Amino acid sequence: MPIVVLSARHGSADKVEALDAGADDYVTKPFGLDELLARLRAVERRSAHPSPPGWWTPATS
């Protein structure tokens, strides 16, 4: 399962620590929903164990 860290911490050391600990991506706040969804799609493409289609698709009202 891919791991994406969402954090308010912008420091390089924080990012390196999370990525070295196994995170696949690190996104800092604030971020746009479109950026987050694009990053989730990118992580999914790189994943050795793809999730079911649509797992990251936002719900519609």
Domains of the chain: 4-46 (3.40.50.2300)
Q: What is the pLDDT of residue 47?
A: 84
pLDDT digits (tens, 9 = 90+) for 25-61: 999 999 999 999 999 999 998 886 666 666 666 655 5
What pLDDT band is residue 21 in, cutting at 50, 70 and 90?
A: very high
Q: What is the pTM of this model?
A: 0.72
Buried/exposed code over 47-57 (b: 16+ C-beta within 10 A; e: otherwise): eeeeeeeeebe
In which element (H, E) is residue 5 found? strand 4-7
